[in-house]
Chains A and B, each alone.
Chain A
Amino acid sequence: MEGQSVEELLAKAERDEADKLQRITVHKELELEFDLGNLLASDRNPPTGLRRGEPPPEAELRALARDNTQLLINQLWQLPTERVEEALVARLPEPTTRLPREKPVPRPRPLTRWQQFARLKGIRPKKKTNLVWDEVSGQWRRRWGYQRARDDTKEWLIEVPGSADPLEDQFAKRIQAKKERVAKNELNRLRNLARAHKSRLPSSAGMHPTGHQSKQELGRALQVARVSTASVGRFQERLPKEKAPRGSGKKRKFQPLFGDFAAEKKSQLEMLRLMNSKKPQLDVTRAANKQMREEDQEEAAKRRKMSQKGKRKGGRQGPGGRRKGGPPPSQGGKRKGGLGGKMNSGPPGWGGKRKGGQHQGGKKRK
């Protein structure tokens, strides 16, 4: 009666459960292999029902696919889920199939300055305890961080040391020192990073990002800036108190100390011969260049004088005939050996620059 109906109810409930489960269970001989991180399932069962010579019908393929997918879904529904913005989201595990990488493994970074130093000296990291005994509070506190053991930011009294200025704010000094340490640390970290990425910036041209630079570095940067014009710094004027940089000329090259013995012997003998000879030796090209330079300078000086006088006297011609034609009557010595042809080195544009219609004949010696 009632007992029977209770039993019947229970049996019915069980049958219902079985039915429900049957709808989602699939029977397979071999278990599938699941890689849930990739939403992947591999079925190793040989497809017996389909093993014929001909292509399998679509319906059979679909049935196989349905069974496999059901198993995969069953696995996926058993994963831990959470509710994110009204949607049910399952947390996937890491993918287990190993696939080849796209790009090679990144190379190990270069060691930082500290690491290099430590390696050199053989310093190893000391294992530190997590907690330190704090006398003040009488308990074990952590080494750094929240509620640390020796916290000097919380001190309410700082003694002024004997050597310091009595009106100085010691608290502010402490805070400032901390800020400086932090900034220095940050700078070193960035430098290490830059070294690791090999990002040296040549465009900053010797200027330091933080501005703290030594006098020599500034001087070098200045020199580089001066020389980086189109005419390689020839027409750059110097500031009133700026001194010419030392050692910026051509670098002299010396022969090595122990070198070619034959060449050394030869050069020494040549030197002796020159010293013994009575006739003075002359380097033609050097002499010619020197002469040309002297003339250029004289002409430039003259031009400046002319332009000044011209401005003052309002356009009247300057001293007429004295146009540069030939070489000024010159000193002996270095004039030997056919220099005539080279003396016609007056600036060709000189004639054209003269004001007014002055007779351009003059003493033009060819």
Chain B
Amino acid sequence: MLIKGGNANSAVTQVLRDVYALKKPYGVLYKKKNITRPFEDQTSLEFFSKKSDCSLFMFGSHNKKRPNNLVIGRMYDYHVLDMIELGIEKFVSLKDIKNSKCPEGTKPMLIFAGNDFDVTEDYRRLKSLLIDFFRGPTVSNIRLAGLEYVLHFTALNGKIYFRSYKLLLKKSGCRTPRIELEEMGPSLDLVLRRTHLASDDLYKLSMKMPKALKPKKKKNISHDTFGTTYGRIHMQKQDLSKLQTRKMKGLKKRPVERITEDLERKSKRIKKN
């Protein structure tokens, strides 16, 4: 859901249009301007999300205090879960870069660089939000030749550099190809402004997975403290006399010995009886 604020300028509008182009079949871009302030009043956003059944949104606006503002957020049960405000410092749009673009609806690859993404809670939520936003639909198989583009986020000096590249697979002699990148899509330099993150328990509630989706524990496998994996195998009862072992030719009984053994066994039986 891509919404324009009451005072969105051309740069912000272009950003929204580019993101819409990236997310083509799964996004909805509202043409009209909506005079709301997401950080003060969330009811209109929730209403929109209920009507269009979208839970991810991006809201663009511009004013003197916060120029080129972009609010990216997600919903849980049609109520706002997280909202992060980002300021756009530099923007190069899709049409400014004269290259061939990739077809719509391809699943992008996401790469996050920089250790800032794990340091603060804000950045961690931002990372999870960006993953949620830009990853495509979940698929179980993917055509290897169909991996077309990469979105690369670098966190550096308090800024986040968002670049998108088209992938070129070159021959490398072995099976895995060599990658060459070509700048394709929108590139943004973002700075983190305000955040409205969900409280811990709401976040925990939203992460709750139903029992069916929980990863199934494998039975009969255990690990010990040293890292060794132990497994348990259940076998049927075996007839050990018919067990197939290695045949040592040297230990084979010679016919003379076998006859004597038989005689001994017979005599034992007679004795018992």
Which positions in A face B, CB cutoff 8 Å? 16, 19-21, 23-24, 37-47, 50-51, 53, 55-56, 58, 61-62, 64-66, 68-70, 72-74, 76-77, 81-82, 84, 87-92, 94-95, 97-106
Contact = CB atoms under 8 A, between A and B. Distances in A.
A62 B111 contact: no
B167 interface: yes
Given A65-B152, A81-B144, A103-B77, A40 B110 contact: yes
B112 A42 contact: yes
Main secondary structure of the interface of A (DSSP, over half): mixed
A39 B108 contact: yes
Contact of B138 (A43, A61, A95): A95
Contacts of B145: 87-88
B122 interface: no
B101 interface: no
Contacts of A42: 111-112, 117, 127
A92 B143 CA distance: 10
B118 A44 contact: yes
B175 A77 contact: yes
B161 interface: yes
Contacts of A50: 154, 156
B156 A56 contact: yes
A313 to B, nearest CB: 73
16 contacts: A38-B131, A38-B135, A39-B135, A39-B147, A43-B114, A47-B114, A61-B161, A68-B113, A69-B167, A88-B145, A92-B139, A99-B128, A100-B74, A100-B132, A103-B55, A106-B210
Contact of A70 (B55, B135, B178): B178
Contacts of B132: 99-100
Contacts of B163: 61-62, 65
B140 A92 contact: yes
B269 to A, nearest CB: 34
B181 interface: yes
Contact of A43 (B113, B139, B167, B181): B113
Interface of B: 55, 74-77, 81, 90, 107-115, 117-118, 127-128, 131-132, 135, 138-147, 150, 152, 154, 156-157, 159, 161, 163, 165, 167, 172-181, 183, 189, 203, 205-210, 215
Q: Which 9 A-B pairs have the closest CB atoms?
A: A20-B173, A100-B206, A65-B152, A43-B113, A102-B55, A77-B176, A39-B109, A23-B172, A68-B111
A90 B141 contact: yes
Given A39-B108, A56-B156, A70 B128 contact: no
B135 A40 contact: yes
A360 to B, nearest CB: 68
Nearest to B208: A105
A69 B109 contact: yes
A53 B157 contact: yes
A66 B176 CA distance: 15
B130 to A, nearest CB: 10
Contact of B143 (A51, A66, A89): A89
Given A37-B138, A61-B161, A61-B163, A101 B115 contact: no
Contacts of B210: 105-106
Contacts of B209: 98, 101, 105
A219 B183 CA distance: 77
A316 B261 CA distance: 140
Nearest to B215: A94
Given A99-B132, A100-B81, A69 B110 contact: no
